[in-house]
Amino acid sequence: MTLPLDVAEQEVQAAINAATNLLPSDLPNPPIYSKVNPADPPIMTLAVTSNAMPMTQVEDMVETRVAQKISQVSGVGLVTLAGGQRPAVRVKLNAQAVAALGLTSETVRTAITGANVNSAKGSLDGPERAVTLSANDQMQSADEYRRLIIAYQNGAPVRLGDVATVEQGAENSWLGAWANQAPAIVMNVQRQPGANIIATADSIRQMLPQLTESLPKSVKVTVLSDRTTNIRASVRDTQFELMLAIALVVMIIYLFLRNIPATIIPGVAVPLSLIGTFAVMVFLDFFH
């Protein structure tokens, strides 16, 4: 693919915008895209823990605040969450109560779905312009669901709390992650194709203290793994071996020639040749 990544990103976004009207109205989440190589492993893994907040609240905080901040770092292509438990309201029907009132589970489902439809409430039509009225009246808490009227019996309202147990919980209680023997939300950070992995990791580490200060005191963000650790070690080893090679070349030449001026020439030529080689590699964008 010869198309530049930024141009391809704009074309993908334009295609998504053009297809918005063709998507189902009850789509849980809008389509998203990310600039990342799926074969590239995460450059850094972070864990978010709390000894006071439930993991559903921690997951919501990580998804809406922490992950978004990290995804804005230059070079970051994708931030994925593992072990997260999204907050949700769980409705457990009482089959006997539903049957006693002559209702069905489909009746309850239809009532819940109808109460959460996110659609325009009306419009104001004028001689020159029309304004669509929208309101976010979707239910957010378990108490709001309990008070939801699902049917009428003999003129009396039947509420969801009369036929079901409604409680605040997790969207999927079978998911979980642990870090240092504590429940945690794990974040895997992947870089954009072509981004400098060391510069990206350094930028993330620099923003972590400021990010942690903006969170509640009980929430801790720790680095579980950093792929740049091995890369930095390899770079240090390479630098040491280059210096050692230059020193050995100069020493061997001096031992054989026993002439300082003759030794200075290769002692200067070898570093200059290495510098020239790396300069050409940088000019050709080899390290990008």
Q: What is the pLDDT of residue 155?
A: 85
Question: Tens of pLDDT along 216-238?
Answer: 999 999 999 999 999 999 989 98
Nearest-10 Cα torsion for 111, 114, 115, 118: 160
Question: Tens of pLDDT along 245-268?
Answer: 889 988 998 888 888 888 888 888
- Report the alpha-carbon distance of residue 142 to residue 209 in Å, rounded: 35
Q: What is the pLDDT of residue 170?
A: 79
